[in-house]
Amino acid sequence: MILTVTLNAALDRTLSVPNFQAGRNHRASEAMTLSGGKGVNIARALRNLGQPVIATGLAGGRTGTAIIEQLTAEGILNDFVRIADESRTSTAVVDPTSMQQTEINEYGPSVADAELVLLMEKLAYLAKGADIVVLAGSLPRDVPTDFYAVLAAEIGRDDLPIVVDAPGPALRGALPAEPWLVSPNVREAEEVVGNEFADDEDAAVGAEALCSLGARSALVHDERGCVARLPAADGGTERITLQARIGVRTDVVSTVGSGDAFLAGYLASTYEGDDREAALQRAVASGAASTALLGAGVVDPADVSALARQVAVEEVAAGA
Ligand SMILES: Nc1ncnc2c1ncn2[C@@H]1O[C@H](COP(=O)(O)OP(=O)(O)O)[C@@H](O)[C@H]1O
Ligand SMILES: [Mg+2]
């Protein structure tokens, strides 16, 4: 079973608004409300891809109740710690004419120390039955930036792969815990590494840098695919760099949560025992497939399989 952890769960409202313009009145042509937050999106995509998954994390107030009820209605197994403060609502406006998207994200709830302790206890318990744990998304305010490293230590099982998909500061704070895998988009990787990537070679150097900072594997992704720094052999310390490429889609409906679908594709494939080339193909295909559908982490598995065949994977020279 794959366990996803979302400290900043949200109720995600996605509105499709043709010709969206600030300062104007609009009518949404399509609206959708789904539970969200990165770990939740990853759980949804994993479930769509047929993998056993449980979503945990923090959920508070009426919004928290709505998050849990919606997940349950979708058939996504979940076990959240209830907190006193209100979980956030996020709103995304996608414009099908310009293909631009505007996101408005509320601040997350404040979390009491006692609530974090409850989460650690729940995590330690659920992790006993997990084969992979995914720590994903931003941290609520007041939670220290090294909290993912604290959680990894709390889980305390060397044989349990820990995955981190988080924005810059939370990702940086997690690296000393030597996560099994990190999956930043190019922008997040640049932020952690400290320089912009001008070309593929820079991205390869960046993926290597993430590994020198502690990650055992790194997938640095964007709309063209990903650069992956992975162990050359299972359990070994030597690593190789692979590049996976797909044609950039021009028929995008929404990219919200497509990086979460990307990671889910990789994990689903790895969980099923595929080799790393196949896992990278499924990752890139899953990210690309999710852009065709409204809703974070929503993917059509048939679309993923079809697109995976179009992903070219090749080994490239190490960056440095
Ligand atoms: N036009 C596109 N064609 C193919 N894949 C895309 C396209 N746009 C986005 N993607 C996929 O979505 C990912 C976006 O990831 P990310 O920025 O991490 O989003 P989020 O964190 O919201 O899930 C890209 O790295 C890629 O895998
Ligand atoms: Mg992402």
Per-residue pLDDT, averaged over 96-116, amounts to: 91
For residue 245 and ligand 1, the question of a CB distance below 6 A is answered with no
CA distance 286 to 77: 21
Separation of 262 CA from ligand 1 center, angstroms? Answer: 7
Model confidence at 319, pLDDT cuts 50, 70, 90, reads: low
CA distance 135 to 182: 10
% pLDDT > 90, the chain: 86
For residue 303 and ligand 1, the question of a CB distance below 6 A is answered with no
85-110 burial: b if 16+ Cβ within 10 Å, else e = bbbbbbbbbbbbeeeebeeeeeebbe
Average pLDDT, the chain: 95
Closest CA to 197 of 184, 178, 216: 184
How do the domains of the chain map onto residue ranges? 2-20+28-316
pLDDT in tens, 185-215: 999 999 999 999 999 999 999 999 999 999 9
pLDDT score recorded for residue 96: 86
Separation of 16 CA from ligand 1 center, angstroms? Answer: 18
Q: For 2-20+28-316, give the CATH class.
A: alpha beta
pLDDT in tens, 302-311: 999 999 999 9
* Phi, psi angles (nearest 5°) of residue 66: -65, -40
Per-residue pLDDT, averaged over 180-188, amounts to: 98
pLDDT in tens, 13-31: 989 999 999 999 999 888 8
Separation of 255 CA from ligand 1 center, angstroms? Answer: 6
Residue 320 has pLDDT above 60, yes or no: no
Q: Is the dihedral of CA 19, 20, 24, 27 positive or negative?
A: positive
* Phi, psi angles (nearest 5°) of residue 170: -70, -35
pLDDT score recorded for residue 29: 87
* 262 Cα nearest atom in ligand 1: 27
pLDDT in tens, 145-165: 999 999 999 887 889 999 999
CA distance 286 to 277: 14
pLDDT score recorded for residue 294: 85
pLDDT score recorded for residue 201: 94
Query: pTM for the full model?
Result: 0.95
